[in-house]
Chains A and B, each alone.
Chain A
């Protein structure tokens, strides 16, 4: 199969950008990605957009306002969970010959509309759709905001496996230590175990420091086929294998299948783990992965991702992550940019850009020696296994 690679990436950083329009932010990220790749704007002939209006920029506006003339365009549902799907669609379009250079673009205003879960936030009305909200929101029951569904799954998980609640703290503590080395991260002040324990409850059992930090950002990556990628300025980062989002009656964005949350069934969860397609298609095993990056709107999502993808067995992740195992210098560094918990909630793009840096050897103080493989994975089962040019 034709191999594709990310050949350039760029971002405006993470924070608040009140003085710039969505299009201006987008253009800064696109300009950085074009410069990184050594490509001209005219060479972009595909566009894959994540999030869209009103939190971001829709594909048609992006093409019009950024002078992009494309022959392939796609835009995902406005949820962070589709970050990797956007990149996957770009790769599939390249393989099918629908385009030769596809720009993936996300402009995200997570701070502009008030609190996620409250009226006024762009997704609020989704809580009232048929079948319930995308994070199990059930407003008349008081089950509001994504944190509610995340807390419910966390409680069930802790109860089911007899996990001590304080063990969750290993994740925010690890990611804050990583963020301290990341100039782009918005939360860099040291976090101590005592800070975590004293953190205010938001929706128990989750505390403020289990929750990601909303930020605004614009991010862009450009994909091309291998024959083109090797001629460009930046070191290509190859997509070694990928797999899509799972959906169905037993899938919930938070927790694992089988927990019985959000009307899913209760059953003995046996994840595919090391036999997931992303591993079997690439020949790379979980223990070969140099760094894991995952969607961490809330700290327990990291544990569920580790279990789903076979790094440890169901119910074991809270123990597995203790003692620095997931920190820089540990056996499996996770979210080395600080992730959504400390770099800022970039709907998956901060981690994607960090994967590029780690695999190109450009991660500065956070650089993992000999980093050749990096996995993006989420609790919904989607994944992209990336490899540096050395492994590919």
Chain B
């Protein structure tokens, strides 16, 4: 059984169809990359998987770990092991990063019937992950993402992922706006988390991130449909030819 199985998923926003029938299978241990130009529906797919309620699923099924994902609330999905790294991490004034992360971890622990972790036990765990992402401990006492640079925000997302240890991680354009040094740190942080129990979906516009996180599968999303799937070489082909060529091919393949 696949960890994630999406069948003929149609999604609407403001009565406008964004996803027009997505089929995708992701097994534990695999890294999939979903690539596509702006407006192709990449972020919509990521948000639906994270259960953002503003997206209306018109039809289709998504099973995750044998359960119906589409009936879950966002917090349930998170507690079941789904994590989405936001394209635009949200600033939350007045809540410290450390408090937020500990609350999240404890919410998940509670859901799974595990003991809560107090502030003292949390600290060493925290420090270890901070080091992994080369982050300043000072950021932990600051409000969540408030006044963080773009790179700090993205690193903070991966830090959360490292602490919460999801079964399925979805990275929504985590590479956008990062300089090459920040990209390398973020990508290495993600790559270090690859293991046989965990699946990762990397949503990206460009191929560069995939130099560091080499995917097992690449899917090209165009206008709400996956038009091609292949191995890592597909990302390189895309980089070379651009999405335009792919669009032309797609039109020929599916005559209207």
Check if A and B associate: no
Interface residues of B (CB under 8 A from A): none
Interface residues of A (CB under 8 A from B): none
